[in-house]
Structure 1
Amino acid sequence: MKDLSLDPVSRFGFRLVGVARRWRRRLDETLGGAGFADASWVPLVHLAEGGGVTQHELAERCGLDDSSLVRLIDALVARGLVERRPKPTDRRAKCVHLTGAGAAAVTRIRAVLLATEREMLDGVETAELARADAVLDRIEAALARLADAGEPT
């Protein structure tokens, strides 16, 4: 019988999830030290990439359920980093936008992210990262195909 621990296919997903958790934990630790505890930085970065989205859309981008995101947004509103505005096409819905203070916070967050990611990638060559990125693109495309076909992802 083949030892599955040596089979790259059987190990890959397990290792990817483990590395992703440790990566995220390290980012949360360093950003927590910069004043962005409890993953409050994640929605800010997503809003900087394209704000004016509904809370539901932002929850999907962040990988959170709607109720968890609402609590995060409430805290960010209280800090003056984001604001809710009526959606132009549906006044009942609210869109979340960065404030000026939120945009300034994202600049600080990105600086910490970059320094932390460089630290974690120390010793990894640019060509290796490009290959890994290409593999992740292909995995994302496969997941999108499965989702489009109605398969659970």
Structure 2
Amino acid sequence: MDNDLVWAVRIISGALRRAAAESAETLPGGARAYLVLMALAEAEDKPPTQLELAGQVGLDRTVMTYLLDDLEGQGLLLRRPNPKDRRARHVILTDEGRSQLQRMRTAVAATEARLLGELSEQQRAQFRDLLTRVALTAQRGALGD
């Protein structure tokens, strides 16, 4: 298992997924809610459409519709018609959604701190940067860009 990327990513991913699920256990969709709220927070200057959001978080568009219905019902997001295409809707994070996301991020950060505990601050920052770059490359590939 030394330097086996598949093994390492699987173990880390599992720990973070469990932390996200536990932090979102009171929300519809659990860990999926975390992913959706994170994506919306990152895109506040340019709200995505439902279809774009589904692609960003890797969910089937039908599943995304039901999840957004539930999250909107809890006041965590809003859907507004796209002025350029009335068939599409932009998804917007509400203040309550931001508050819930912050609560979840705090809980997940505790797990991250334990996982990265053997690394220096510089190594943690470098690890996050490198992992994010790889994730963005993987996302672009998965979306066919």
Q: Normalising by the residue count of structure 2, what TM-score does the alignment of the two structures yield?
A: 0.76
- Is the Cα contact below 8 Å between 1:27 and 1:116 reproduced in 2? no
Contact (CA 8 Å) 2:78, 2:94: kept in 1 or not? yes
Is 1:42 the counterpart of 2:2 in the alignment?
Answer: no
Query: What does residue 63 of structure 1 align with?
Result: 58
Distance in structure 2 (CA, Å) of the matches to 1:142 and 1:58? 17
Q: Deviations over 1:109-133 (max 9, x none)?
A: 2222323322333333223323433
Q: Which has the higher contact order (CA 8 A, sep 6+)?
A: 2
- Percent sequence identity over matched residues? 31
How large is the Cα RMSD of the aligned pairs? Answer: 2.8
Report deviation, 1:79: 0.6
Q: Please say which structure displays the higher CA radius of gyration.
A: 1
Residue type of the alignment partner of 1:17: R
For the structure 1 residues 95 and 105, does the alpha-carbon distance in structure 2 shift closer, same or farther, using more than 3 Å as the test?
same
**Counterpart code for 1:18:** I
Distance 1:104 1:137, change over 3 A: closer
Question: Which residue number in structure 1 is paired with residue 18 of structure 2?
Answer: 25
Contact 2:16 2:111 in 1 (8 A): no
Show structure 1 runs of 5+ residues with no match. none
Report the TM-score when normalising by structure 1.
Answer: 0.73
**1:72 has 2:70 as partner:** no
User: Structure 1 residues 143 and 41 mapped into 2: Cα distance closer, same or farther (>3 Å)?
Assistant: closer
